[in-house]
Amino acid sequence: MAADRSADLATEEARDDRAFYLVAVMAAIVATLAYLPVGALVAMLAFWAFEVPLHSLLTFGGQIHIVAGLALWWGLAYLPSLLYATICLRT
Q: Domain range holding 78?
A: 2-90
Full-model pTM: 0.79
Number of domains in the chain: 1
Residue of 77, 67, 69 whose CA lies nearest to 27: 77
- pLDDT tens, the chain, 91 aa long: 555 565 565 666 667 778 889 999 999 999 999 999 999 999 999 999 999 999 999 999 999 999 999 999 999 999 999 999 999 887 6
User: Is 47 in contact with 53 (CB distance < 8 Å)?
Assistant: yes
Q: Which backbone phi and psi does 78 adopt, to 5 degrees?
A: -70, -35
How many CB atoms are located within 10 Å of the residue 81 CB?
Answer: 21
Which bin fits 53, alpha (ψ -120 to 50), beta or left (φ > 0)? beta
